[in-house]
Amino acid sequence: MSSPAAVEFAVRFLEADEINALLLRAGSLPGADLRMLMYYATAVPIGEAVTKTTTDIGRELGLSTTSASRSIGRLAAAGWLELSHSAVGSRFYVLGRAALGIETDEKDEVAGEDGQLAKVHQLRPRG
């Protein structure tokens, strides 16, 4: 009997019907955002982070670094991408729940009394 940690999962890319469903769900996204999302959907297996920098991805897609960065930010904010990890000032993302067609139930989220997950406040010097 093997331990649960020893279980290996098969590496799996999105299949054609899943990519088609993603394209139909994301069809109203602006062009740069849609191109970026489709890059993330096809570059690596499901659940793996794309480890290229925003600049490199943008260059491959014919986008400026600024445009690529803004697209990634919008996609992450909308749940199409999720932050995997950060390293040396770069952020790396995986496909998010929206991209995979997974419904989120807000009741399952851990939230404060006001319903927000977290608040970020800008720190300003006194004076």
Q: For residue 49, is it within any domain?
A: yes
Q: For residue 50, is it within any domain?
A: yes
Q: For residue 127, is it within any domain?
A: no
Percent of the chain with pLDDT over 70: 74
pTM: 0.75
Q: Quick: pLDDT tens for 58-110.
A: 999 999 999 999 999 999 999 999 999 999 889 999 999 999 998 865 544 44
Q: Do residues 41 and 14 lie in contact, with contact meaning Cβ atoms separated by under 8 Å?
A: yes
Q: Closest Cα to residue 82, out of 47, 118, 110, 36?
A: 47
* Eight-state DSSP code of residue 71: H
The C-alpha atoms of residue 123 and residue 46 are separated, in whole angstroms, by: 37
Q: For residue 116, is it within any domain?
A: no
Q: For residue 74, is it within any domain?
A: yes
Residue 29: which domain range? Answer: 11-104
What's the pLDDT at 15? Answer: 95
Q: For residue 125, is it within any domain?
A: no
Dig out the tokens for 71 from the structure: 């697209």
Q: For residue 62, is it within any domain?
A: yes
- For the domain that residue 52 is a member of, what is the CATH number? 1.10.10.10
Q: Is the pLDDT of residue 127 over 90?
A: no
Percent of the chain with pLDDT over 90: 69
Number of structural domains (the chain) is 1
